[in-house]
Chain A
Amino acid sequence: MIAKYVIGIDLGTTNSVLAYTPCDGDRPSVELLGVPQLVAAGTVETRATLPSFAYLAAAHELGAGTLDLPWAAGREYAVGELARRQAADAPERTVGAAKSWLCHSRVDRHQPILPWGASEKVAKISPVTASRRYLEHLIAAWEHAQPEAPFHAQHVVLTVPASFDAAARELTREAALAAGFPENFVLLEEPQAAIYAWLDRLGDRWRRVLRVGDLLLVCDVGGGTTDLTLVGVAEEQGDLVLRRVAVGDHLLVGGDNMDLALAHWVATQFATKGVKLDPWQSVALWHSCRTAKETLLAPAGPDAHPIAVLGRGSRLIGGSISIDVPRRQLADMLLEGFFPRCAANDKPARRRVSGFQEIGLPFETDTAVTRHVAAFLQAQGSGGVPARPSHLLFNGGVFRADPFRQRLLETVADWAGGSPPPQVLEGEQDLDYAVARGAAAYGWTKLRGGMRIRGGTARSYYVGIESAGLAIPGAPRPLRALCVVPFGMEEGTEANVPSGDFGLVVGEPAVFRFFSSSIRKEDKPGTLLPAIPEDELAETDSLEATLPADPGRDEHYVPVRFEAKVTELGMFELWCVSTQSDRRWKLEFSVRASDD
């Protein structure tokens, strides 16, 4: 069957969106798909976004058709708006932020661990399963709307955070394939998708906006995460090209932190009036705070905004309590807490290291987005001079509030020294849907030709090699790091890793520790680091392969070398190649809890 559409899917931490465009036509014509979903028991409504939440219902809740969808009956779980609302009333049964768990290598993401901390009574699900269910829902919504164009026969682009490492991408791909994605679907980094959305909006005019040597900083602050990317403008054969030059680390700080900070402040104000809020009211308060934030921070917003918590029973007015939030106080709290002015050489406060750290999600200790941006630009600079972006592209719902855009722009401009301050990329900002739209536009471009952002891998990757030598009791063998994938390795290329031979024991799983770096851009395949530089390399999931014993050969180990490959679809593969025969084995991520 021939594909009729290119489908772009933004699988977000808090919201997922599906956009599509017909394959034909002179340019992409991107639309959003309305997603039917449960908004209350037995009630289905079509909305533009699917909240990335899953509600695992208890048996007694399942009445006739309670969780039915137009395409499914007898469900015991619900995803979308109903699930999001349940987060207030039944947090024990509500799964949220599955995506943040996907890239958290200290837990086994195939094990049923969500909702995190829920009791034994709840049949928990794994982060991979949760992601699969959101995607399954989007696929079903698509096929419901376009029965003549089956999903698996279309061109599909799925976005992931640029900061996702190879293991998190592999898990996302696994969830997508299990949900029913076509084998040849493509992964695209979210900040790049935001740029494609911008390019699509401008058409050919972008060539007049950008010049050779420009540097774009994409700052994507969503509900739960912050994702940073630098894209450079270069010239190739007389034509402008965009090249993604760096991505930031996965930062767990976003708009939800702001609303929570405000809600916390308001709750303490209520407490001084002797009012204690129940959990339901606390969540209602959280939503009111989000509105208050957007109202007060809007251009020419009011000087104060009342925040009320409505009575829980049917007596609404009598049970309501309200306080006024002054604009000044709110701006101080949020701007200084999340976008403080800082120097170009500031660094985020380091995580307090304690022996008894809770395993939950590793939220950032320092909520100052500006300091994370400063650290990112320092790491990408050269000769002690931080990188200096010439343009800023904002993405994510947080930037609906103009003061945040202004503050970040001013702060980055302060760092520019004598050079001209950065400009915001013009064009109407579509902060909530840009990633899905950009993904669809990118898919169309890939198919039909047009401007593509060059990038390759966003990190360099290393395999840990234990040094040989006499063992010292009580001391681990020193570990060296062998570079197997250089920074910027392009899709559809392979690299042989020059090295000595490694002996793989036959019949036993061989496990390699695996590291990545977003900073070390000069290392080539085969570069051997004598020790692990802890501030430059981050350990991710280990890799393993088991070599089956070959009955025809009498051998205990096989000498191998490594071969790295980045597929056309953006997936990373590492192979062990025998140096004595033509046999080869693919290393797989062993995605399970590491020892610490």
Chain B
Amino acid sequence: MRLGLAFRAFFRTLGNADTAQRVGLLLDGKLAGLPGPADSTGKTTVTGGGDVPSGPAGPAGTGSAKGGAATGTVGGGLASRGPKPPAPPSRSDALTLLAALQREARFVDLVHESLDGYTDAQIGAAARDVLRDCRKTLDRMFHLAPLLDQPEASAVDIPAGYDPNRYRVVGAPSEPPCRGQLIHPGWRATHCQVPTWQGAEASALVIAPAEVEIR
């Protein structure tokens, strides 16, 4: 029922500027005669948009729907971002992590290489080492562990008021508490220690230095 409404809202918003404006006002809680935006209203829209698997316009639609929701609720901070944080890190931790994966496992080399013209055996031979070293690196930095210790296909109880960041309930959900089957136990980091980088601003975007051999 709500899913159907969400679909309709999504496609109408996408296709009709007038509807889009009204949906925007509705989400912002500025449309007369309606109560303010309950959390659920915003959420439904976002989820509906996000779950739509079809159409080339999908990603754009998701973006606009999320944007609309954001203005009214959590995203207030995004729109009116005040002064910059005092000391921005000289480079993103994400780049430092990527550099570590390239350095220790040659991850970038592997994913960036075209697979055309190689046999599966050739790819497998190279990937085996890269994957092994990626895992070693990620395990060391994040001590990865399954989020749930239960085996797959076992029964899981979803409590009322569960944390949607911990459980993704799929299929035909009824109102929690409810019981389902574990499809994927999830992952979590039990530790987080990414290297710190302290190079100069000019080389902040370098992921791997060029190697030159002097003969």
Contacts and interface: CB of A to CB of B under 8 A. Distances in A.
Interface string B195-208: 11111100100000
B109 interface: yes
Contacts of A47: 140
A315 interface: yes
Task: Identify which of A65, A310, A315, A317 gathers the most chain B CB atoms within 10 Å of its CB.
Answer: A317
A322 B125 contact: yes
B158 to A, nearest CB: 36
Contacts of B209: 41
A470 B2 CA distance: 114
B23 interface: no
B interface majority secondary structure? helix
Contacts of A306: 125, 128
Contact of B199 (A34, A45, A65, A314): A65
Contact of A34 (B96, B126, B130, B193): B193
Interface string B169-195: 000000000000000000000000111
Contacts, number: 84
B132 interface: yes
Given A291-B132, A318-B118, A43 B100 contact: yes
Contact of A317 (B103, B126, B195): B126
A184 interface: no
B129 A317 contact: no
Nearest to A45: B195
Contact size range, B: 20 to 34
Interface in B90-115: 96, 99-100, 103, 106, 109-110, 112-113, 115
A40 B140 contact: no
Contacts of A320: 122, 125-126
A543 to B, nearest CB: 47
Interface residues of A, number: 28
Interface string A19-51: 000000000000000100001111111110000
A43 B195 contact: yes
Contacts of A39: 100, 103, 195
Nearest to A319: B126
B198 A68 contact: yes
B60 interface: no
A455 B203 CA distance: 56
A63 interface: yes
> Which residue, of B129, B199, B203, has the highest number of chain A Cβ atoms within 10 A?
B129
B100 A317 contact: no
Given A63-B203, A314-B109, 4 more contacts: A43-B96, A44-B198, A308-B125, A310-B130
The 5 A-B pairs of least Cβ separation, nearest first, read A42-B199, A45-B195, A322-B125, A64-B200, A316-B109
15 contacts: A40-B103, A43-B96, A43-B199, A44-B198, A45-B195, A63-B199, A64-B199, A306-B128, A308-B125, A308-B128, A310-B106, A315-B109, A315-B113, A316-B109, A317-B123
Interface of A: 34, 39-47, 63-66, 68, 70, 288, 291, 306, 308, 310, 314-318, 320, 322
Interface of B: 96, 99-100, 103, 106, 109-110, 112-113, 115, 118, 122-123, 125-130, 132, 140-141, 193-200, 203, 209
